[in-house]
Amino acid sequence: MAGLPFDQREGVIWYNGEFVDWADAKVHVLTHGLHYGSCVFEGERAYGGKIFKLTEHTERLIESGRILGFEVPYSVEEIDAACVEILDRMNLVDAYLRPVAWRGSEMMGVSAQQNRINVAIAAWEWPSYFKPEERLKGIRLDMAEYRRPDPATAPCRSKAAGLYMICTLSKHAAEAKGYADALMLDYRGLVAEATGANVFFIKDGEVHTPKPDCFLDGITRRTVIDLIKRRGVNVIERAIKPEEMSDFEECFLTGTAAEVTPVSEIGPYTFSVGELSKALMEDYTAEVTPASSGEAAA
C-alpha cells in the first residue's frame, strides 16, 4: 500500500468525531482551507504502538488554530484519545499520524467567521523521511531561494499549512538538482531551518542552533536539546550567519519526520558525520522507544 496515492488507500480516518472509511474522508472543492490556507496540522510518530509526545502535539495543534483565529472544537483529551484509537483501528505499531484542522465551506471569501472548523486524523506506515543510506553518510542540502518571513508578516508560531508553500517550492528545486532538501535563511539573511526540520551545528564540542524567533520551535528540536544537555554538552541558541557554516564541524537536522539526520553538505559548506551526531541519533532512538522512554500513548 506504500506506493498508492493517499486518496486511494484502505482503512479509516477520524473525521469530526467519527471513524469513516478512508475513501469517504473528503472535503468540498470550495473549502476555505483550500482557497485561503486556513488550515493547521501536526505530524506525529508512533514507535512500538506508542505515540511520542502526543499531548504536546495536540496542544500545539489547538494553539496553531487559535493563532489563525479559530477554535478547534475538541479538547486535548478527545484528540489524544482519537489518535490512540486510530492507531489501534489501523492495526499500526510504527506509524506516522496527521491530525489536521481547517475552515470549511459555509462561507467563501476572505471573511469566514461562520465556517465550521473541521478536524481529521489519519495514520499510516511511513519509514524514515530520508533514505537510511543517506542518513548514515549525511544528506546534501541546497540553499533555498525563499526565506522564512518576518513575524510581523506571517503567523510563524502556528504550524499553518500556508507557511509550507515556500517549503515545497524550495524542496522541489533542491531535489531537481540532486539534493535531499534545502536550507532556508530568514528574512534577515540568517540561518533558519530546512524545509521541514530544524538545524543544528557542532563546533569545538559545543552545539549551536538558530534561535526560533521566526519559525517553529520544533517538539523534536526541544527533545534533542534536552538529550544534548543530558550528555553534558553546551547548547547555544543564537543568530547564525550563513558564512559561519564554513567553521562548523558537524551538522544535523531534527524533526518528527527527519528524527535526527546528519548533514554532509549545505551549498558550498561541508561537514563530517561525527561521533556526537551519531550518538544523538542513538539517543533519540532510545528516547522514542517505549521500553526505554516509558512514553505513554495518551
Q: How far apart are CA 148 and CA 167, in angstroms?
A: 9
Residue 229: CA count within 13 A, CB half-sphere = 9
φ/ψ region of 246 (left if φ > 0, alpha if ψ in -120 to 50, else beta) reads: alpha
Q: Quote the distance between the C-alpha of residue 298 and its chain's center.
A: 20
> Would you tell me the crossing angle of helices 219-230 and 275-288 to the nearest 10 degrees?
110
3-state secondary structure (DSSP) of residue 275: helix
Q: How far apart are CA 195 and CA 237, in angstroms?
A: 19
Cell 499510516 -> residue: 124
Vertex 6: Cα angle to 95 and 41 (nearest 5)? 65
Q: Quote the distance between the C-alpha of residue 147 and its chain's center.
A: 17
DSSP-based helix, strand, coil % in the chain, nearest 5: 35, 30, 40
**The dihedral formed by the CA atoms of 67, 73, 75 and 78, expressed in degrees to the nearest 10:** -130
Q: Is 211 known to be catalytic?
A: no
Catalytic-labelled residue, pool 159, 171, 211, 229: 159
Tell me how crowded residue 206 is: count the other CB atoms within 10 A of its CB.
13
Catalytic annotation, residues = 159
